[in-house]
Amino acid sequence: MNAAKALLYQKKIPDYRLKELRAILVEFYDLVPGAENNEISNDILMDAVNLEIANRRGKVVSHGLKVVSSLTSPVSLVNFEVMWREHFVKQMQPKFLPVGWDTHHRIDRYSVMSME
């Protein structure tokens, strides 16, 4: 990721551009909003740089394939569904949801699926 490379290796970057580059990483890594005003850890910067290197070497795996392959067990599917619902509620802030709906709603159906 070029933003990470610039933050790691370029020394003469104007403040406004530093903030823009950090904002790219904040969005990509879903960091706390406002983090673009602070330093980003070297671990995150190195991870972002390595992502691009892996892609250049032809080890590209689509995001969809990574998600699907990580959801092979009912437990991981439940965790993903709860995480996705929490993300939906946080981002969309819906005003109207069905009565009784929550982020763990209908999770019990997976115990039935895993028994089959």
Domain boundary at 56, 74, 89, which?
Answer: 56
- Domain extent at residue 84: 63-115
Do 6 and 52 fall into the same domain? Answer: yes
The 3-state secondary structure of 33-71, one letter per residue: CCHHHCCCCHHHHHHHHHHHHHHHCCCCCCHHHHHHHCC
Report field, pTM of the whole predicted structure over 0.85? no
> Per residue in 56-85, pLDDT tens?
556 666 667 777 777 887 777 888 888 999
Mean pLDDT in residue range 86-115: 80
Instruction: Name the nearest CA neighbour of 3 among 33, 35, 34, 28.
Output: 28
Domain boundary at 56, 77, 99, which?
Answer: 56
> Per residue in 1-22, pLDDT tens?
688 888 888 788 898 888 888 8
Do 32 and 74 fall into the same domain? Answer: no
Instruction: Name the nearest CA neighbour of 41 among 26, 56, 55.
Output: 26
Tally of domains within the chain: 2
Greater confidence (92 vs 48) lies with 92
Work out the mean pLDDT of the chain and round it to a whole number: 78
| Consecutive H or E run containing 16 | helix 15-28
